[in-house]
Amino acid sequence: MQSYELRYGVNPNQKPARVVAESGDLPFEVLSGSPGYINLLDAFNAWMLVCELRTSLGLPAATSFKHVSPAGAAVGTPLSPELARAYFVDDMELTPQAAAYARARGADAMSSFGDCAALSDICDVATAKLLKREVSDVVVAPDYEPEALEILRAKKGGKYVVLRMDPSYQPPTLDRRTVFGVAFEQPRNDCLLADNLFANIVTQDKELPESARRDLLVATITLKYTQSNSVCYAYDGQVIGNGAGQQSRVHCTRLAGDKADLWWLRQHPRTLDMQFRAGLPRAEKNNAVDRFLLPELSGAEEAAWRSAFDQVPARFTREERRAWLDSKSGVAISSDAFFPFRDNIDRAASSGVKYVLEAGGSLRDDEVIAAADEYGMVMGFTGVRLFHH
């Protein structure tokens, strides 16, 4: 198969549309549904991300993509009981691949609504059962267990897009795209992200435990496939906040940090003990939790939030929020380019960041290093910029 006809392009008025292999066959097979233009953009980027995580860390990996950026990504480490409750998966038996997707999906559940899921390993039954009950549009994997494939083919009345990717496929070394009638060409960004990233630790504290190396790799590999500018927070083998596509670096840091704060607050005992109204769909539970955790709401948002519960929980005060967040530490943060000002470090510190990776090369590197030292952080300069457009 050298081409595949699409329903339309990025928007419904852009048709006819198709994807074409420049040489040989297309690297994917459609097992169910009918993928669109954005579906395939998400699928290809997501597939590259999970393959790189798998290669780098040697664990099953998953990501949840929306609009060509990952809402979350993770490797398949076991979930704590609190995290399983926060993700609404405490009623399921999770294999490593299923755990990776539960983590990737749970990093930012609102952004993952209607996602493209990518799996590094064969999709097993446990992962298929998890996908079945989530609002998801696409899944891509190297293959599927027979029972798992049947579960997914039945989702959305057979319209759920199931893609099988050829794991042996290697894309050409030259990337090519056309914009405004002009063709752009560049070498594919095949830089290897591994332990070489940690060769230049620039802070006074240079101790980098294995868990921090893992989390920094998760964050950095995620950034490689995130629309720039981007900053990513990671903890416990997964993304906990990804700030994509902002024009200002500190806005990336704030956006991702706010998401990381919500991730921590979802695991607060008061949040975990919420009593939802009977029959409330999973997506509405996630929406209600997010509204509950926001510091300020409009009147309409407040009413919508309260209607989700049998017993309305007491909102967190500013002091309660800060006390809970101040008890958290050991978070990793990575940036797809250098931090130009120390304000990024100041914001990261308020979300429990201990470990930092950035490209280095700013005129104010000394100020940024000094800020990291003030907070007792470990920071490395990679010398590698990871813009993705």
How many other CB atoms sit within 10 Å of the CB of residue 75? Answer: 27
- What own/partner pairs with CB < 8 Å and gap ≥ 24 does 139-143 have? 139/163, 140/28, 140/43, 140/46, 140/47, 140/116, 140/164, 140/165, 141/165, 142/166, 142/167
Query: Measured between alpha carbons, how far is 149 from 19 in angstroms, rounded to an integer?
Result: 24
**Given the DSSP bridges, would you call strands 17-20 and 3-6 parallel, antiparallel or unpaired?**
antiparallel
Place of tokens 């939802």: 276
Q: Which residues are catalytic?
A: 66-67, 229, 389
**Given the DSSP bridges, would you call strands 136-141 and 115-119 parallel, antiparallel or unpaired?**
parallel
Q: Which pLDDT value is given to residue 310? A: 81
Peptide bond into 229 cis (omega under 30): yes
Contact 112, 130 (CB under 8 A): no
How many other CB atoms sit within 10 Å of the CB of residue 346? Answer: 14
Q: Which pLDDT value is given to residue 332? A: 98
Peptide bond into 16 cis (omega under 30): yes
Query: Measured between alpha carbons, how far is 67 from 111 in angstroms, rounded to an integer?
Result: 10
Structural domains present in the chain: 3-165 (3.40.140.20), 175-265+325-381 (3.40.140.20), 276-315 (no CATH)
Cα R_g (the chain), whole angstroms: 21
- At residue 165, φ and ψ (nearest 5 deg) are -100, 140
Q: Which pLDDT value is given to residue 309? A: 85
User: Which of 250, 216, 252, 217 is closest to 353 using CA atoms?
Assistant: 216
* SS3 at position 99: helix
**177 bridge partner residues:** 184
Query: Measured between alpha carbons, how far is 306 from 321 in angstroms, rounded to an integer?
Result: 19
User: Which of 101, 90, 158, 152 is closest to 125 using CA atoms?
Assistant: 152
Amino acid at 254: R
Q: Which pLDDT value is given to residue 1? A: 63
**162 bridge partner residues:** 32, 139
Q: Report the Cα 163 to chain-centroid distance in Å.
A: 20
DSSP per residue, 37-59 = HHHHHHHHHHHHHHHHHHHHH-S
Q: Which pLDDT value is given to residue 295? A: 80
Average pLDDT per consecutive 10 residues, the chain (389 residues; last block may be shorter): 89 94 91 96 98 97 97 97 96 97 96 96 98 97 98 97 96 92 94 92 97 98 97 98 95 97 96 91 89 80 79 89 96 97 97 98 97 98 95
- Structure tokens belonging to residue 15: 């048709």
Query: Measured between alpha carbons, how far is 348 from 153 in angstroms, rounded to an integer?
Result: 42
DSSP per residue, 130-147 = HHHTS-EEEEEES-B-HH
Q: How far is CA 327 from CA 46, 242, 261, 331, in A?
A: 33, 21, 12, 12
Q: Which pLDDT value is given to residue 314? A: 87
Query: Measured between alpha carbons, how far is 204 from 373 in angstroms, rounded to an integer?
Result: 6
Q: Which pLDDT value is given to residue 308? A: 86
Place of tokens 């980098």: 208
- Structure tokens belonging to residue 111: 């952004």
User: Which of 326, 332, 389 is closest to 356 using CA atoms?
Assistant: 332
| DSSP letter (8 states) at residue 296 | -
Query: Measured between alpha carbons, how far is 110 from 80 in angstroms, rounded to an integer?
Result: 21
